[in-house]
Amino acid sequence: MAKKFTFKKVLKIVAIFLLVFVVALAAAPFIFKDKIKALVLKSINENVDAKVAFEDVDLSLFKNFPNANVTIDKLSIINKAPFEGDTLFYSGEMNLKMSIKELFKGDDEAMSLKSFSSTNAIVNVIFNKEGLGNFDIALKNQEEEDASKEESKPFALNIQEYAIKNMRFTFLDEASNMKMVLDSINHEGKGNFAQQKLDLDTKTTAKVSFNMDNTNFMKNVALSLDAVLGIDLDKSKYDFKDNKALINQLPLEFNGFIQMLEEGQLYSLTFKTPTSDFKNFLGLIPEAYAGNISQVKTTGEFRVSGKVDGKLTETTIPKFNIELASNNASFQYPDLPKSVRNISIDTHIVNETGLMNDTYVNLDNLSFSIDQDVFNAKATVKNLTVNPLIDAALKGTINLANVTKAYPVQLDKPLTGILKADVTTKFDMKSVETSQYQNIQNAGNVSLTGFKYEGPEMAKPFEINKTSITFNPNQIRLNEFDAKTGSSDIQVSGGLDNLYGFLFKKQVLKGKFDMNASRLVVSDFMAPTTTTSDDGKKTTTEAVKIPSFLDCSITAKAGTVVYDNLDLKNVSGSLAVKDEAITLSDLKMDVFGGSIGLTGSVSTKGNKPKFDMNLGLNAVNIAESFSQLEMLKSIAPIANIINGKLNSTIKLSGDLTDDMTPNLKTISGDLAGQLLSPTVNEKNSTLLTALSSNVKFLDINKLNLNDLKASLSFKDGKVALKPMNLTYQDINMTVGGTHGFDQSMNYDVKFDVPAKYLGKEVTSLLTKLTPADQQKIESVPVTANLTGNFSNPNIKTDLTQATTNLASQIVKMQKEKLIGEGTSALTNLFNGNKDNTAAATDSTKTTPTKEDVKNTVKDKASDAIKGLFGNKKKKE
């Protein structure tokens, strides 16, 4: 009996089938992954001679079901010599789509690809100075090998569509110093590549930048092209059919074709703007600067047209003629009060021979007017690739305040000022490079008056009252420059030797100037910059960077220069600016009641600014200079309590902070100074007050410091004082030691103290000595050790011990005297010295009796014995 199939059983069978199918789809990548990897490696290795690597190859049957999707992660192709290490190609992710049945083909059958896509790719095409290209990495095989490999290609192209997302393409020709970059390329195409003739529907967007010989001609110019290309694969020919292109916002249409040849490419193209509205000209300007041009009111026309015809080979380029033209046009933005009128443009970019160097640019006319101001320009540029020749003329007036009133320039503050120019110039770039100024022909004048500018890079608004420049054949002369910023005023005159080298070749700007100022406040020129520390706190510092493009000398005079908290008077000297450094020569200034002379250098090259200075201080006020200059305060912190004058020479070097003040932790050098008519104010010094209380015999205020010479050296935050001699009345002193910029100290003060200053006990003992013995004790050495820091000193002396030692010395001398007298008496006694007897009885003026003589001798002997043994008996 036949079994009955119920609906429930059918569903169960379908579910089992679907489960098996899904499991098969999930398992297939593991089955075919190694095969796909091998095919990818085979395809690459059979075609390129380079180092190829990729991170992984994945196979998915779900991503593009019912097609299989192969993903190649981080594929890179790295050149071998002579471009060793250069990246020719890199792709973050590449996807290949094919039918699932292609996975079951044999090893000798090619897999047919339906589509591919690439994301975040990089392509670098480089020609070195010898003319070799890094892209020529195809393996050189013999014809029979090519034929055999043709039959066993791993992949066959049957592409219906492709896509490239966010690719960067760089072309670099080292011989001509030319670089073109197409960035942010997004391109997609649809067409049946299985046919030999097809229509390929493409959409492309990119940004192009172009540099040649260190000059930027285009920077991030937006390009877009929607085009249907008729492709003949047999002839490698591409016809432009329906197409629409935009350069920034300028529309263009193309007609003609491009054909690949065995050597180079053949171009036959014409292009033009589809409309003649003057909005087309504004469309050339990037939208960020031109605004919404659809709302701009325009009159007149602007046309772009061109023709390109010929072969592009290693030695030739296609001939071309590009024309930009406008006549009597105008535009006005709806929200702005001024219009730009009477606009005329007549420009041709032409090559008539097919040789790159024969390309020339003729700007036959460019003129416009805003209100009553008219500006005209014309120029020609020839001999582009070998030695460009420039011939230009500018003439007209521009009220800078009208620029922002007629055009949507994005400025924080509007410009003001009147610019007038009437200049002609003719020069070649080789003469600019080699400084052959005799070949440069300049004439005319440029002036600017009433100019005012404010910006984030300026500390204060900058005003140019008047400046005028004269263009001479050999030099550009700055006749006058009268400017003001903050409370500072500047007047400059001088000359520039190579303005063109600076403008066109990025050479240093050379010149020689005289500068005068009645008042110059340094902070007026230092724009504050905000930095964030590691703990997230924002701090504002004043960073200064000496320009690297300057090579000039300046002779300067200023009535007053305000630097930090100092007012410097009658400042004069010479400055040489070169290689991000300023060298100062014979700089003089009046300050602190005297004068300072300075030579040295300041450099901001590198990570940290540095300085190296020699200073000469002449009769400066000691207290003022050592209290107002942080560096001097750290070198000699006690000097600010000295009233008087100082002559000194200081040599020092080290790092500077962002606000161009010395970093005290890094300075090193030495100081030699001489005090003139100084007095000391002890009460202003905790250290000296403490010293006086510990050394009673010393009155600091009466120290004789006149003509005192001191010698200091400093390094790594430490200052060493070479021992120096001082006098206080009849006390000689020697001071020496070290202290740190952190105010810690370790000093020794050695005194040679007369005994009479050591107290009543010592004085009383001295009176018991004979004058001859007193002279033997002229002075006593006493040492005071000063540690701690200047505001909280720790003072120790050996004064008590010195006093005790002196008292012991005096007692000893008395003992020796008494012993001598006793010994003499005993000698006389035992020898029966009549002279002594006579002397003893001489005061009676009568003849002594025998009893008198006997008693006298007895008394003397008794005294001598007491002197000899009295102390000993007391001790026992």
**Which pLDDT score is estimated for 183?**
92
The residue among 479 and 779 whose pLDDT is bigger is 479
Is the pLDDT assigned to residue 457 strictly greater than 60? yes
The residue among 8 and 730 whose pLDDT is bigger is 730
Distance, in Å, from the CA atom of 333 to the CA atom of 182, rounded to the nearest integer, reads 32
How far from 256 is each of 205, 268, 448, 630, CA to CA, in Å? 21, 5, 50, 76
Residues 6+ apart with CB under 8 A from 850: none
Residues 219-240, mean pLDDT to the nearest whole number? 89
**Which pLDDT score is estimated for 35?**
58
**Which pLDDT score is estimated for 444?**
93
Distance, in Å, from the CA atom of 91 to the CA atom of 76, rounded to the nearest integer, reads 7
- The 10s digit of each residue's pLDDT in 5-40 is 454 544 544 444 444 444 444 444 444 556 566 666
Cβ pair 657, 610 in contact under 8 A: no
**Which pLDDT score is estimated for 571?**
93
Residues 80-95, mean pLDDT to the nearest whole number? 83
What pLDDT band is residue 854 in, cutting at 50, 70 and 90?
very low
**Which pLDDT score is estimated for 517?**
93
Is the pLDDT assigned to residue 154 strictly greater than 60? no
What are the CB-based long-range contacts (under 8 Å, 24+) for 609-612? 609/544, 609/655, 609/656, 609/657, 609/660, 610/653, 610/654, 610/655, 610/656, 611/653, 611/654, 611/655, 611/656, 611/662, 612/652, 612/653
Cβ pair 634, 623 in contact under 8 A: no
What pLDDT band is residue 737 in, cutting at 50, 70 and 90?
very high
Pick from 522, 508, 513, 602: which is nearest to 562 by CA?
A: 522
Query: Do strands 297-299 and 538-542 pair parallel, antiparallel, or not at all (unpaired)?
Result: unpaired
What pLDDT band is residue 110 in, cutting at 50, 70 and 90?
low
The DSSP result for 191-211, as a single string, is: --TTSSEEEEEEEEEEEEEEE
Is the pLDDT assigned to residue 156 strictly greater than 70? no
**Which pLDDT score is estimated for 527?**
59
Query: Do strands 462-471 and 441-453 pair parallel, antiparallel, or not at all (unpaired)?
Result: antiparallel
Is the pLDDT assigned to residue 842 strictly greater than 70? no
- The 10s digit of each residue's pLDDT in 492-515 is 999 888 777 777 777 888 889 999
Distance, in Å, from the CA atom of 569 to the CA atom of 836, rounded to the nearest integer, reads 86
- The 10s digit of each residue's pLDDT in 524-549 is 876 555 555 555 555 555 556 788 88
In the chain the first and final C-alpha atoms are separated, in Å, by 149
Pick from 447, 449, 509: which is nearest to 475 by CA?
A: 509
**Which pLDDT score is estimated for 61?**
64
The DSSP result for 301-334, as a single string, is: BEEEEEEEEEEE-SS---EEEEEEEEEEEEEE-T
**Which pLDDT score is estimated for 637?**
83
**Which pLDDT score is estimated for 840?**
42
Quickly tell me which residue has 């500077």 as its tokens.
Answer: 656
Distance, in Å, from the CA atom of 91 to the CA atom of 79, rounded to the nearest integer, reads 15
Sign of CA dihedral 136, 139, 144, 150: negative
pTM over 0.85: no
The residue among 545 and 93 whose pLDDT is bigger is 93
Q: Which of 312-326, 334-348, 616-630, 695-709 has the lowest mean pLDDT?
A: 695-709
Pick from 42, 174, 40: which is nearest to 98 by CA?
A: 40
Considering the chain, what is the average pLDDT of its residues? 79
Is the pLDDT assigned to residue 378 strictly greater than 90? yes
Is the pLDDT assigned to residue 139 strictly greater than 50? no
Per the DSSP assignment, residues forming a β-bridge with 623 are: none
